[in-house]
């Protein structure tokens, strides 16, 4: 009996001691944190928040690490070394939101880059607004800049740097139809297979008038759910309805490989050309056992390794290969790399202009808007410019689309390789039609 009492008392003693130590540690930490002044920073901290289990996430971490390494080797940002902190959003909105908060409030990140999934981006824009942290982001939904447009003061910290607004695929695909016509493919009827998702609605909003302008009839528009696989009946139907082109607008359904396979199996005289995220994968040929041959698609992000658009881009690909043994695994890498360099530029600009606190988020936003403008895009791995606040399409702070800026190139899988076929000045192969297309 007495033994029991003692042990419980001991236990309580230890527990109490533990609580006091823990509380002291946390309190001390908090006190230390509150005495820090941002200007006296001995390092600048860049956070990368992305799904690290996917190549689209890990490439952002690796590309940002490379940029930071290069910048530190050249003396950092204004003599201050740069450090990277990493968060994994695990494609889970809860994890993303908590990681965002952790990177900013615990790791003291000054700026964040990253993202991938549109849904998660929408969720992380809330802590971004609350914590007032600049986020140079990926994802492609028009819903994100629309938030900036609707409540500028709150969401102005968001900039899209990695790829164009998904709706801009409409412009690229209209160009694709023009190109096909130019090369002698009579395109007047198309069959659209699209994601059951708002992003595809936004593409169509811009795409439909462009189709009307070109007298192209949409014989049918099929919405498919995530993970959809029954493409054969659709391909046969497209052919029955007289379409020359099956035009996918798919990213989230995630089964573009099955679409390519069914199309290649049936070999009906109808082209497969449009936007399909699955095709933008260097391993796509192996994964589809070559069924993707002659698949024409929009290459997202404005870069293909075989045709780097700028000198910095060629350099980046080389350095990446040297450091990691392979070229960037996904186009998100270019965005993350650009994000780090653009941030450096902006801090330097702000300091030069005599800003009292160049690392302050509001200041950074101001200088991002001033530095990468439609008039003077910044040449990084791509030519980066942001649409200004008050954009007519509500694309505020979105990556500018166009030949002068970033746009998607038209690509094709031909005999095991991913080729660029348009625009002509960047192309490294000619359009090749499938032999069964007459």
Taking CA atoms, 51 is separated from 78, 139, 262, 335, 343, in Å, by 31, 12, 30, 15, 22
CB of 423: closest distance to another protein in angstroms?
Answer: 28
Contact status, residue 337 vs residue 343, Cβ threshold 8 Å:
no
Write out the E strands in 229-277: 245-250, 271-276
- Nearest Cα to Cα of residue 332 among 93, 12, 113: 113
Is 97 one of the binding residues for another protein (CB under 8 A)? yes
Residues in 177-216 at the binding interface with another protein, rule: CB under 8 A: 196-198, 201
Q: What is the CA radius of gyration of the chain?
A: 25
Rounded to the nearest 10 degrees, the angle between the axes of helix 256-266 and helix 232-240 is 50
Closer to another protein by CB, 16 or 78: give it: 16
List the one residue out of 395, 427, 413 whose CA is nearest residue 170.
395
- 418 is a contact residue toward another protein (CB under 8 A): no
* Residues 161-180 within binding reach of another protein (CB under 8 A): none
Q: How far is the CB of 289 from another protein (least distance, A)?
A: 5
Minimum Å distance from CB 300 to another protein? 15
Grouping H, G, I as helix, E, B as strand and the rest as coil, residue 414 is strand
393 contributes a contact to another protein by CB under 8 A: no
Could you give the CA distance from residue 253 to residue 75 in angstroms, rounded to a whole number? Answer: 45
Terminal alpha carbon distance of the chain: 94
User: DSSP label at 288?
Assistant: T
Which one of the spans 4-12, 65-73, 302-310, 391-399 is the region binding another protein (CB under 8 A)?
A: 4-12
Where in 120-139 is the site for another protein (CB under 8 A)?
120, 122-123, 125-126, 129-130
Task: State the DSSP code for 167.
Answer: G
Strands (E), 296-405: 296-299, 378-379, 383-384
Q: Which is nearer to another protein, 193 or 427 (CB)?
A: 193
Residues 251 to 280 in contact with another protein, rule: CB under 8 A: 252, 254-255, 257-258, 261-262, 265-268, 278
Name the minimum Å distance from CB 194 to another protein: 10
Q: Which is nearer to another protein, 262 or 382 (CB)?
A: 262
For another protein, give the closer residue by CB, 127 or 358. Answer: 127
Angle at CA of residue 273, ends 271 and 278, nearest 5°: 125
Choose which of 223, 323, 370, 432 interacts with another protein (CB under 8 A): 223
Report the site for another protein in 288-327 (rule: CB under 8 A).
Answer: 288-289, 291
Taking the complex as a whole, the smallest distance from the CB of residue 202 to another protein amounts, in Å, to 11
Residues 14-53 within binding reach of another protein (CB under 8 A): 19, 23, 26-27, 29-30, 33, 52-53
For another protein, the closer of residues 109 and 273 by Cβ is 109
Least Å distance between CB 232 and another protein? 6
């Amino acid at each position: 009996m007495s033994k029991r009492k003692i042990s419980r008392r001991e236990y309580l003693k230890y527990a109490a001691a533990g609580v006091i130590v823990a509380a002291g540690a946390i309190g001390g930490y908090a006190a230390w944190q509150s005495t820090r002044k941002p200007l006296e920073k001995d390092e600048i901290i860049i956070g990368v928040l992305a799904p690290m289990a996917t190549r689209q996430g890990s490439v952002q971490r690796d590309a940002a690490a490379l940029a930071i390494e290069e910048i530190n080797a050249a003396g950092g940002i204004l003599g201050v070394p740069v450090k990277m902190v990493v968060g994994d959003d695990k494609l889970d909105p809860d994890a993303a939101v908590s990681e965002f908060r952790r990177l900013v409030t615990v790791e003291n990140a000054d700026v964040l880059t990253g993202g991938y999934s549109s849904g998660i981006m929408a969720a992380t824009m809330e802590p971004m607004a609350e914590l007032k942290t600049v986020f140079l982001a990926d994802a492609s939904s028009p819903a994100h800049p629309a938030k900036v447009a609707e409540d500028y003061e709150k969401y102005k910290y968001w900039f899209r740097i990695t790829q164009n607004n998904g709706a801009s695929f409409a412009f690229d695909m209209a160009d694709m139809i023009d190109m096909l016509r130019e090369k002698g493919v009579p395109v007047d009827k198309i069959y659209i297979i699209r994601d059951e998702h708002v992003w595809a609605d936004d593409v169509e909003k811009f795409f439909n008038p462009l189709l009307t302008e070109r007298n192209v009839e949409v014989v049918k528009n099929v919405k498919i759910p995530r993970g959809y696989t029954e493409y054969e009946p659709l391909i046969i139907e497209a052919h029955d309805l007289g379409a020359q082109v099956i035009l996918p607008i798919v990213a989230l359904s995630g089964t573009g490989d099955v679409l390519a396979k069914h199309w290649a199996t049936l070999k009906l005289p109808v082209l497969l050309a449009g936007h399909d995220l699955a095709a933008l994968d260097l391993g796509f040929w192996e994964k589809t056992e070559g069924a993707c041959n002659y698949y024409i698609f929009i290459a997202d992000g404005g870069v293909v390794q075989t045709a780097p658009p700028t000198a910095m881009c060629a350099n980046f690909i080389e350095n990446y290969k040297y450091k990691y043994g392979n070229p960037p695994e996904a186009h998100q890498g270019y965005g993350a790399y650009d994000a780090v360099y653009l941030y450096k530029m902006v801090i330097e600009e702000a300091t030069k202009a005599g800003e009292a606190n160049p690392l302050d988020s509001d200041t950074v936003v101001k200088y991002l808007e001033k530095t990468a403008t439609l008039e003077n895009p910044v040449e990084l791995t791509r030519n980066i410019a942001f649409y200004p606040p008050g954009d007519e399409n509500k694309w505020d702070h979105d990556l500018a689309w166009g030949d002068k800026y970033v746009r998607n190139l038209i690509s094709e899988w031909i005999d095991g390789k991913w080729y660029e076929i348009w625009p002509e000045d960047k192309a490294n192969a000619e359009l090749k039609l499938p032999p069964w297309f007459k």
